[in-house]
Amino acid sequence: MIDVHNVTKSYGAMDAVKDVSFSVEQGEILGFLGPNGAGKTTTMKMITCYMPPTHGTITVDGLDVVNDSMGVRKKIGYLPESTPLYEEMGVRDYLNFIADVRKVSGQERTRAMDRVIEVCGLRKVIHKDIHELSKGFRQRVGFAQAIIHDPEILVLDEPTTGLDPNQIIEIRNLIRQLGESKTVIFSTHIMQEVQATSDRVLIIDQGQIAAQGTTEELKASIAGQMHLNLVLRNAEKSVFLEEMSSLDAVHLDDINVQKNGDLEAALKVDTGMDIREQLFDLAIAKQWKILESSPSSFTLEDVFRKLTN
């Protein structure tokens, strides 16, 4: 459905996107994950024909974004990070205006209006002016303008930015609902967004693809290291740090002393090493009491930190 092949976008001497290649299959929800400034928005603007690539090719359902820009735009609904709303307009008037732009008319428009009002949950605000709406409802109006022409593809740039927790859940549910019938790319730098909604994840950093796959595939990619959580009693922080620094296979990820004096530590252990017996012997020698010793499960955040730090 979408093919990005060896794409670079340059601004003078700076490459915002560098030789990026990936594809999105029909009916797939792709989470586009990366730090701020990683190249997510630039890539989305090229896919949606807002700017051409400097090098490489992008095709949408077989249509080239440079040579057949209008054909591509008809197939895509786009929600940029800053929702394109005219605040002085009423919600219904605004959606009718977008329908005019998208050349949706007659009975098709009536059906389209009914559909987006229902899907985006706008019925109770349809007669209000946009400036009266909460941030969450404004975002819903943004979704409505993106889908009023019933596009095959949705491109959503950080759709939950600035929303409160309840609004975020509502927008996640809306993305999943839309993804049942459309191909969706949405960008974010929030791990929970990707895990809650996407079929596959693409991580971009400094304009280049760092990894891509399902969340389970990405977590498996760093499973070579064992993570171990420890809680110790009677362990002085300075002594513990000295002992850990003497172990070549162990890397301290985090350490914290609780109010009651117990020491919490998160360790990373090199591939093929199991130091739990060694830690047990050390605890006996130092008269530490081990309150917890448990391997931790890998998260998408672990992958993200490893690839983008």
Q: What is the pLDDT of residues 178-212, one digit of tens each?
A: 888 899 999 988 888 888 899 999 999 999 999 99
For the ranges 208-217, 223-232, 281-290, the lowest mean pLDDT is seen at 223-232
Q: How far apart are CA 295 and CA 302, in angstroms?
A: 14
Q: What is the pLDDT of residue 268?
A: 82
pLDDT level of residue 108 (50, 70, 90 thresholds): very high
Q: Report the b/e string of 206-215 with b at 16+ CB within 10 A.
A: ebebbbbeeb
Does 221 have pLDDT greater than 90? no
pLDDT level of residue 126 (50, 70, 90 thresholds): very high
pLDDT level of residue 222 (50, 70, 90 thresholds): low
Mean pLDDT of 137-156: 94
Q: Give phi and psi for 128, each to the nearest 5.
A: -90, 160
Q: What is the pLDDT of residue 215?
A: 85
Q: What is the pLDDT of residue 78?
A: 96
Count CA within 13 A, CB hemisphere, residue 14.
8
Looking at the chain, the domain(s) classified CATH 3.30.70.3100 span 226-308
Does 164 have pLDDT greater than 70? yes
Q: Which residues contact 141 (CB under 8 A, 6 or more apart)?
A: 83, 85, 91, 94, 95, 120, 122, 130, 133
| Strand pairing report for 289-295 and 226-233 | antiparallel
Amino acid at 257: V
pLDDT level of residue 31 (50, 70, 90 thresholds): very high
**293 versus 114: which is more confidently predicted?**
114
| CATH top-level class of 2-213 | alpha beta
Report pLDDT digits (tens) over 264-284: 998 888 766 778 788 899 999
How many percent of the chain have pLDDT more than 90?
65
Mean pLDDT of 143-160: 93
- Evaluate if pTM is beyond 0.85: no
Q: How far apart are CA 100 and CA 106, in angstroms?
A: 11
Mean per-residue pLDDT of the chain: 90
**Going edge to edge, which strands form the sheet with 263-269?**
250-257, 263-269, 226-233, 289-295
Q: What CATH number has the domain spanning 226-308? A: 3.30.70.3100
pLDDT level of residue 228 (50, 70, 90 thresholds): confident
Count CA within 13 A, CB hemisphere, residue 16.
18
Query: Can you say whether residue 107 is alpha, beta or left, with left for phi > 0 and alpha for psi between -120 and 50 degrees?
Result: alpha
Helix (H), strand (E) at residue 144: helix 135-147
Q: What is the pLDDT of residue 219?
A: 76
Mean pLDDT of 81-93: 92
DSSP states of 85-138: --TTSBHHHHHHHHHHHTT--HHHHHHHHHHHHHHTT-GGGTTSBGGGS-HHHH
